[in-house]
Structure 1
């Protein structure tokens, strides 16, 4: 018998979906359990030390009952609702969700009076200084000399500031508010590509209205929210291409992913996920266009940064610096400092300075330190298990994802929210109340993602729709290796919302099918028939 290529390709495709299902289910089974029993947080204005406390089991159980009952009621109503009315309900709930996110974000940006510090200040300051012809940030010991990957975001921000004015971080915050609403809209459109179910769409819109970290991060003058918007746009366009095979959608995929890479380095996880899914899909469907598009994306992502580096070399006269090697963040991610596992302790910068800004010597020293830490883990497996458990939970079990830790300054000598205002109380006396709301939402989302991996990821399912789920898996393993920070998990969290809503829908529909006396033909809602071209 000869080799059956078609059968081998199909088996490879099935194996890809099986890996996603098994690995994703395992990860979220653990996350659901820990989010059910415990939670972690950081008080604004304090040290970057996660605090672990027992969660409210009763409140989590109550939320489970409410979401289960609410989804069942929506399904019951949907079956008896005319298509015209369903269309109206979907759009009205979407507009309410978008309006809430936009208005709440604008209120937060104005009321919190956020003053960018740290990396934010260097990024928007660098963009402004470059416009004014000052390039000291590009020296070997300067900010961009140490972190050259930031030049992608800085270049885009410089272009933006040429329109709105240098140092105008407030305008960038307003842009983030628009992109936050746009990200939520992309999630809505992704769901419409997957299903026309009114239950799923309304559930998603309600859940997104409870996603408070998305609102709080709009005052964050950085690339997090723009990267989320571009990533979700790419997924939406891929699903549109799957439906219509129009080249223009692939063009938008390429543009979106390149921009996502420019504004946030960790978007490489999304790019790798897209490459894996597209290769499996393209080989199965014998679609060369989509494979060429993703290869072009990878090439352009590298080429754009090369062009940006060269542009600033020519403008400034400073030779491009390799900066602090990436291996230093892996080494730091293996260290424990003051009882905190893998979090930032200034190790990369201190090592780079001690090596007189020599990237190669810094990398060699970091590798030696990493080897020493791995020996510690190997010699003490119990300590290794505790270390990585604490590291993972300190990032993935923080319901606010440091949104208020970074974005709710206390009243001081300069700016900050007005004392006694709601924005002030959110970062102060009402902080724990906000935390409890976000804690319940996080538990619901994690449970929905578990359902999604168990019920939606099947051997023959469209792997393109699973790209955000694959990205979340990749982000999980990356968080185990590199510097720990709950903020880094925030983009993955936003990607979960549409798929968590879909997971809840599939679960409740299955339960209703098993408990209903009606025939299978009457009960099952054919999703494919209800899909609508958005």
Structure 2
């Protein structure tokens, strides 16, 4: 269902398929699930193509349109504000400047990508800096732009409720705004910390749980991390990767609290 809304969730489909393929070593019938999950991608694409074709009464192919390579070029570029990999309109311009011809736009993207990669290879200090800044802008906004993307006047939105007026006082400089930001930082880093603990405990054999979801969440997060390192990025694009770690983090938190409680009980018994 998520893939119907946004193609980026193809990462999640692949993550599920990888988990099922790994599970084949335990139960052979998992191969049916693995192949079935992968069939979601072509099935959705064909269905959407048929629906669009029916609506406009002409043949529509989802393989046409803006080439995906343009998003990679944009993901490695720097805009006028110094942001790395954020939307610059390159993909739209490459498509429209070539009279909406997919092949020509892709050819231009390949040329621009070679130029950009060559530049990054020659300027290694600059390359390290921009990737560091890109990772920071993508992963350190603990609100994942949920407040910025709300009813801000700069986006034509209207602040109609009292709670929103409190949050958006002086362009987000209210105490409630800061409380939400700092509070969400605590939540996000708690998720990361205890997800790491849970994964490490599993790897060293100190944790006996159903590994399917653990593998899925970790693969999904790593896949999203790598994807947005090179693709177009924004903090609001990556919240689902962190959200998928919540069940993993809850197990890690439980194990840590259980360990602390057992230590307290053992000290009391002495």
TM-score higher than 0.5: yes
Which whole-Å CA distance do the structure 2 matches of 1:393 and 1:315 have between them?
A: 42
Which residue is 2:42 aligned to?
302
Residues 340 and 315 of structure 1: CA distance in aligned 2, closer, same or farther (over 3 Å): closer
Which residue is 2:55 aligned to?
315
Residues 356 and 489 of structure 1: CA distance in aligned 2, closer, same or farther (over 3 Å): same
1:445 aligned onto 2:194: no
Q: Residue 279 of structure 1: CA displacement?
A: 0.5
Which residue is 1:504 aligned to?
253
Which whole-Å CA distance do the structure 2 matches of 1:463 and 1:331 have between them?
A: 37
Residues 298 and 357 of structure 1: CA distance in aligned 2, closer, same or farther (over 3 Å): same
Which whole-Å CA distance do the structure 2 matches of 1:415 and 1:276 have between them?
A: 42
In structure 1, which of residues 462, 469, 472 is the aligned counterpart of residue 221 of structure 2?
472
Which whole-Å CA distance do the structure 2 matches of 1:262 and 1:493 have between them?
A: 21
Q: Which has the higher contact order (CA 8 A, sep 6+)?
A: 1
Residues 461 and 369 of structure 1: CA distance in aligned 2, closer, same or farther (over 3 Å): farther
Which whole-Å CA distance do the structure 2 matches of 1:307 and 1:320 have between them?
A: 11
Q: Within 5 Å, which residues of 2 pair with 1:332-481?
A: 332-338=74-80, 339-410=82-153, 416-418=158-160, 421-428=162-169, 429=174, 430-458=176-204, 462-466=210-214, 467-481=216-230
In structure 1, which of residues 265, 274, 279 is the aligned counterpart of residue 16 of structure 2?
274
Q: Within 5 Å, which residues of 2 pair with 1:66-77?
A: none
Q: Residue 403 of structure 1: CA displacement?
A: 0.3
Q: Secondary structure of 1:406's match?
A: coil
Aligned-residue CA RMSD (Å): 2.4
Q: Residue 287 of structure 1: CA displacement?
A: 2.4
Which whole-Å CA distance do the structure 1 matches of 2:114 and 2:265 have between them?
A: 59
1:286 aligned onto 2:47: no
Q: Residue 463 of structure 1: CA displacement?
A: 3.4
- The answer as to whether partners of 1:331 and 1:366 remain within 8 angstroms in 2 is yes
In structure 2, which of residues 211, 214, 238 is the aligned counterpart of residue 489 of structure 1?
238
Q: Within 5 Å, which residues of 2 pair with 1:112-123?
A: none
Q: Residue 370 of structure 1: CA displacement?
A: 1.2
Cα offsets for 1:490-533 (capped at 9, x unmatched): 11122122211211222343455567637xxx9xxxxxxxxxxx
- The answer as to whether partners of 1:456 and 1:503 remain within 8 angstroms in 2 is no
List gaps (5 residues or longer) in structure 1.
1-258, 523-534
Which residue is 1:37 aligned to?
none
Q: Residue 461 of structure 1: CA displacement?
A: 6.3
List gaps (5 residues or longer) in structure 2.
none
Task: Count the aligned residue pairs.
Answer: 257
Q: Secondary structure of 1:341's match?
A: coil
Which whole-Å CA distance do the structure 2 matches of 1:433 and 1:453 have between them?
A: 30
- TM-score under structure 1 normalisation? 0.45
- TM-score under structure 2 normalisation? 0.86
Q: Which has the higher helix share?
A: 1
